[in-house]
């Protein structure tokens, strides 16, 4: 990976798309000022990372926004790979409280065994800030089924990358991403579908008009979003918001310092488009 790059291992966002792997899942790899982060390791993270030639062993932190399958299910496998089953106790896990502890209904996703694989497990609520190498990481508030969930902002001296995670739209949630140069938006639904706990295209437009980042990437697509073709949607959103907008695809790599999207040299397994 280059010093500054964001790689979308997968872009699937609902149980049909992820279940059939119509779009891959597995999360996002961020390489920011030389530090590698694994964000939301969903199903297939390790396999996709291998295909994309990413060494999980180079990761400094694994971040899990909330305790849903799509975002968290491979966290144990990633920590095991990162530390070689704890032989090399390196890296930190940054996650919502529920991922590490569970709650009165759910067991934790993180196993006790995996806790011992990393240097530290950092459980964060919205509004926290930590520094890892040259990167400041802020947690943001979300409005989702998993009330303990968070979004993230990655800040370096050169740029600020926001990741909404799964959330609904409110002005308060939007305002957290002010001053983000690049905004990654989990946009599950097209404009005509309003699903609880998630953003649709209308919400994404509201968010972009309010925040005006330099560049935005839509991802985390549900089946209805794929049916209307995220690429065309991104074009319309761009026209309406006057913000550069791209629809993520599996294997998309973007440079957060220059916003230039480009194709990966490696070819991920092709997927049938619906
Ligand atoms: Zn979720």
Q: Which residue has the tokens 């790979």?
A: 81
Distance (angstroms) between ligand 1 centre and the Cα of 250 equals 19
Q: Is the pLDDT of residue 2 over 70?
A: no
- In this prediction, residue 3 carries a pLDDT of 82
Instruction: Classify residue 190 by its DSSP letter.
Output: -
| Residue 273 included in any domain | no
- In this prediction, residue 264 carries a pLDDT of 45
Q: Is the pLDDT of residue 42 over 50?
A: yes
Distance (angstroms) between ligand 1 centre and the Cα of 197 equals 8
Categorize the per-residue pLDDT at 266 as very low, low, confident or very high, splitting at 50, 70 and 90. very low
- In this prediction, residue 207 carries a pLDDT of 98
Distance (angstroms) between ligand 1 centre and the Cα of 143 equals 10
Cα separation values, 193 from 80, 146, 147, 157, 196, Å? 39, 21, 22, 38, 10
Q: Is the pLDDT of residue 259 over 70?
A: no
Distance (angstroms) between ligand 1 centre and the Cα of 49 equals 22
Distance (angstroms) between ligand 1 centre and the Cα of 70 equals 7
Distance (angstroms) between ligand 1 centre and the Cα of 265 equals 31
Distance (angstroms) between ligand 1 centre and the Cα of 145 equals 7
**Mean pLDDT of the region 158-182:** 97
| Residue 271 included in any domain | no
Angle at CA 25, nearest 5°, toward 96 and 262? 110
Tell me the per-residue pLDDT of 216-236, one tens digit each, with 9 for 90 and over: 999 999 999 999 999 999 999
Q: Is the pLDDT of residue 263 over 60?
A: no
* Percent share of the chain, pLDDT over 90: 89
pTM over cut 0.85: yes
CATH number of the structural domain spanning residue 109 = 3.60.15.10
**Mean pLDDT of the region 18-29:** 97
Distance (angstroms) between ligand 1 centre and the Cα of 50 equals 25
Q: Is the pLDDT of residue 118 over 80?
A: yes
Q: Mean pLDDT over all residues of the chain? A: 93
What is the DSSP pairing of strand 28-32 with strand 35-39? antiparallel
Q: Which residue has the tokens 């308060």?
A: 172
Distance (angstroms) between ligand 1 centre and the Cα of 227 equals 21
Distance (angstroms) between ligand 1 centre and the Cα of 134 equals 29
Q: Is the pLDDT of residue 9 over 60?
A: yes
- In this prediction, residue 269 carries a pLDDT of 54
Tell me the per-residue pLDDT of 82-102, one tens digit each, with 9 for 90 and over: 999 999 999 999 999 999 999
How many domains is the chain built from? 1
| Residue 268 included in any domain | no
Distance (angstroms) between ligand 1 centre and the Cα of 88 equals 31
Identify the domain containing residue 156 by its residue range. Answer: 5-260
Distance (angstroms) between ligand 1 centre and the Cα of 209 equals 24
Q: Burial code of 140-175, b = ≥16 C-beta within 10 A, e = fewer?
A: bbbbbebebbbbbbbbbeebbbbbbbbbbbeeebbe
Distance (angstroms) between ligand 1 centre and the Cα of 82 equals 24
Distance (angstroms) between ligand 1 centre and the Cα of 147 equals 10
Q: Is the pLDDT of residue 265 over 70?
A: no
Distance CA 70, CA 29 (A): 15
Distance (angstroms) between ligand 1 centre and the Cα of 137 equals 20
| Residue 265 included in any domain | no
Distance (angstroms) between ligand 1 centre and the Cα of 74 equals 15
Distance (angstroms) between ligand 1 centre and the Cα of 226 equals 18
- In this prediction, residue 258 carries a pLDDT of 84
| Residue 244 included in any domain | yes
Cross-strand bridge partners of residue 217: 184, 246
Q: Is the pLDDT of residue 249 over 50?
A: yes
| Residue 270 included in any domain | no
| Residue 151 included in any domain | yes
Distance (angstroms) between ligand 1 centre and the Cα of 140 equals 15
Tell me the per-residue pLDDT of 119-163, one tens digit each, with 9 for 90 and over: 999 999 999 999 999 999 999 999 998 778 999 999 999 999 999
| Residue 19 included in any domain | yes
């Amino acid at each position: 990976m280059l010093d500054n790059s964001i790689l979308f291992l997968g872009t699937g966002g609902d149980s049909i798309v992820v279940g059939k792997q119509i779009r891959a899942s597995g999360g996002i790899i961020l390489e920011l000022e030389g530090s590698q982060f694994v964000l939301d390791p969903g199903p297939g993270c390790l396999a996709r990372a291998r295909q994309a030639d990413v060494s999980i062993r180079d990761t400094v932190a694994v971040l899990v926004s909330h305790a849903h399958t799509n975002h968290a299910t491979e966290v144990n496998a990633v920590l095991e790979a990162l530390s070689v089953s704890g032989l090399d106790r390196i890296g930190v896990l940054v996650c919502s409280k529920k991922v590490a502890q569970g709650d009165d209904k759910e067991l934790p996703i993180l196993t006790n065994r995996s806790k011992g694989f990393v240097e530290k497990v950092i459980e964060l609520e919205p509004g926290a800030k930590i520094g890892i190498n040259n990167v400041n990481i802020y947690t943001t508030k979300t409005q989702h089924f998993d009330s303990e969930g968070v979004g993230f902002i990655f800040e370096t001296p050169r740029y600020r990358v926001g990741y909404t995670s799964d959330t609904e739209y409110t002005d308060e949630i939007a305002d957290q991403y002010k001053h983000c140069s690049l905004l990654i938006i989990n946009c599950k639904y097209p404009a005509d579908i309003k699903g609880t706990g998630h953003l649709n295209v209308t919400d994404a437009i509201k968010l972009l008009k309010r925040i005006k980042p330099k560049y935005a990437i839509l991802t985390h697509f549900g089946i209805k979003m794929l049916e209307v073709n995220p690429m065309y949607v991104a074009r319309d959103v761009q026209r309406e918001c006057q913000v550069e907008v791209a629809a993520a695809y599996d294997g998309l790599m973007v440079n957060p310092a220059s916003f230039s999207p480009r194709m990966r040299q490696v070819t991920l397994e092709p997927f049938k488009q619906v």
